[in-house]
Structure 1
């Protein structure tokens, strides 16, 4: 679901904070009908608040993507949308205790709406992925925005590295938790 009352794209800390309130309101309105919630924004807005109150599994795509990447290699690299996203992501990796396994992040310099230009986005992502592989030693790539989903397979082919699409990672974890009854 795309929330109608949130920002059009989450690109700054203010956007994250604004989106967190929208995500929380949505979850509260649907909590009796949901088996799990997946927060499908790479900044994981509202994740902690939802976990306190939802009563069902709550997965954020950023956290899930990194945890998945760590099962696939020793180091991961993140392809971010904008340079301003990187400090926010690094704070998350530190809070998760996995910052030492992050080979680095490279921003493609495209805001959320610019991802619609598929050829330019794919070219920028492939360049970023190769840089993370060749210059930083990343063994796994993580796509740093839900809007990058269509590019997983071509990015993987272009770089020869496993690529984690964060919404797929979180959804797989959510399904597993529901099936296990946690």
Structure 2
């Protein structure tokens, strides 16, 4: 059976469980979803510092998994909207790698200009930088944030729907785009609840990530490539508190 490895780069168990639930539902019965949580780092990634540490934690989780199982999964999904360590993991992985943001950008750009709705005031600059790096500078119109983090929104889905609906409508008025991305692992499943209130498609970043990862499994089967030596990367050391 094909395996999709989903890595949660933050240390919040409820987000890991949410990723596992929604990823398996989208992946289908013929794909086994394995979800790993970062061994260290921030409970929620919301700034440059926690983002940098999350990149290290993502690589640690991937290498620990592959060394323990002596094989790579069929595909890897970075379960953070911001994709920490995306390029590094693509460089070392035997399997195709995508992230919630990269996959969502790809889907949204097919419909023209798009905007992002997410939680956390420092994310707009970080996501703009990522969009530029991935080639979406001309299609990302902007990012609209709410004060609560994704984890806080996930803790109260009923209240979150009101907050996010208003944010989506405000983003549409501000940016005049063809689609919206609801970005964040903690917001998995909420886009479907909001779609009826919006005049444009809204993309669930977790669903987009899983769809792209599953599609990539068959495209790269049997493709060999040169990878850097990462035998020096230690995953068995004790992580300090």
The TM-score normalised by the length of structure 1 is: 0.93
Q: Does 1:158 align with 2:193?
A: no
1:28 alignment partner, one of 53, 63, 66: 63
- Structure 2 counterpart of 1:16: 51
Q: Does 1:135 align with 2:178?
A: no
Gaps spanning 5+ residues in structure 1: where? none
- Structure 2 counterpart of 1:83: 121
Label 1:94 to 1:33 Cα distance change in 2 as closer, same or farther (>3 A).
closer
Say what the alpha-carbon RMSD is for the aligned residues: 1.4
- Partner Cα separation in structure 2 for residue 95 and residue 180 of structure 1: 23
**Contact 1:38/1:170 (<8 A) preserved:** yes
- Partner Cα separation in structure 1 for residue 218 and residue 94 of structure 2: 15
**CA drift at 1:15:** 0.9
> If each structure's helix is expressed as a fraction of its own residues, which one has the higher value?
1
1:1-182 matches, within 5 Å, as 1=35, 2-31=37-66, 32-71=71-110, 73-115=111-153, 116-182=155-221
SS in 1 for 2:120: coil
- Partner Cα separation in structure 1 for residue 86 and residue 97 of structure 2: 7
**Contact 1:76/1:138 (<8 A) preserved:** yes
**CA drift at 1:33:** 4.1
**CA drift at 1:23:** 0.8
Number of corresponding residues = 181
- Structure 1 counterpart of 2:17: none
**Contact 1:44/1:61 (<8 A) preserved:** yes
- Runs (4+) off by over 6 Å: none
- Partner Cα separation in structure 2 for residue 50 and residue 95 of structure 1: 15
**CA drift at 1:174:** 1.2
**Contact 2:72/2:94 (<8 A) preserved:** no
> If each structure's strand is expressed as a fraction of its own residues, which one has the higher value?
2
